[in-house]
Amino acid sequence: MTKAETNFLVKLRSSGLRPTKQRIKICEVLFNRDKTFHFSINDLTNIIQNQHNEKISLATVYNTVHAFKKKGYLKEINIGNDMSYFDTNTTSHHHFYDEQTKELIDINSQEVEIKKTPTPPNGKKIEGVEVTFKISKKSSL
Ligand SMILES: [Zn+2]
């Protein structure tokens, strides 16, 4: 077993998941890469079915992704209009969201400066600020 595979088993077990062939495939797609990966449950299911020729149900992908999120291996990003994306970069950072290509792009946290923050409701504190900049293609004049 390779070091990566051992790592996948650790991730699955610590998330309370039985390491099935399908779930190990999910780990390969998510964690065997050096760049940040943004995806929806549907994207990930399609990638595994079409690019890896592995039969997998939406429910398995859903359960696994949510278990990883709960454990802190993935982060959920809400774009609004019910679109939910997941991110393999779990640090605090900002995004561009391209509404035409439905693509998320990371922005380094140092590139965004928040000048004014609202006072949180009584008994609450601000945990973090994550901003999504919606982008679209410039219209040519
Ligand atoms: Zn990101």
Residue 21: which CATH number?
1.10.10.10
Spacing, Cα 37 to ligand 1 middle (Å): 7
> Both 35 and 58 in a single domain?
yes
Q: The tokens of 86 are what?
A: 């997941």
> Both 40 and 10 in a single domain?
yes
Q: Is residue 77 part of a domain?
A: yes
Q: Is residue 129 part of a domain?
A: yes
Q: Give pLDDT < 70 ranges for the chain.
A: 141
> Both 68 and 125 in a single domain?
no
Residue 34's pLDDT is: 82
Residue 87's pLDDT is: 96
Spacing, Cα 135 to ligand 1 middle (Å): 15
Q: The tokens of 28 are what?
A: 């390969």
Residue 55 in contact with residue 125, Cβ under 8 Å? no
Spacing, Cα 88 to ligand 1 middle (Å): 7
> Both 63 and 116 in a single domain?
no
The predicted model scores a pTM of 0.86
Residue 93 in contact with residue 129, Cβ under 8 Å? no
Spacing, Cα 93 to ligand 1 middle (Å): 6
Spacing, Cα 80 to ligand 1 middle (Å): 16
Spacing, Cα 1 to ligand 1 middle (Å): 30
* Cα distances (Å, whole numbers) of residue 86 to 62, 66, 78, 112, 121: 11, 9, 9, 21, 28
Distance of alpha carbon 48 from alpha carbon 39, whole angstroms: 12
The number of domains in the chain is 2
> Both 76 and 49 in a single domain?
yes
Q: Which residue range(s) make up the domain with 100?
A: 94-135
> Both 79 and 18 in a single domain?
yes
> Both 41 and 61 in a single domain?
yes
Distance of alpha carbon 23 from alpha carbon 28, whole angstroms: 9
Q: Is residue 141 part of a domain?
A: no
Classified as helix, coil or strand, 79 is: strand
> Both 74 and 15 in a single domain?
yes
DSSP E strands: which ranges in the chain?
Answer: 38-39, 75-80, 83-87, 94-98, 103-107, 132-135
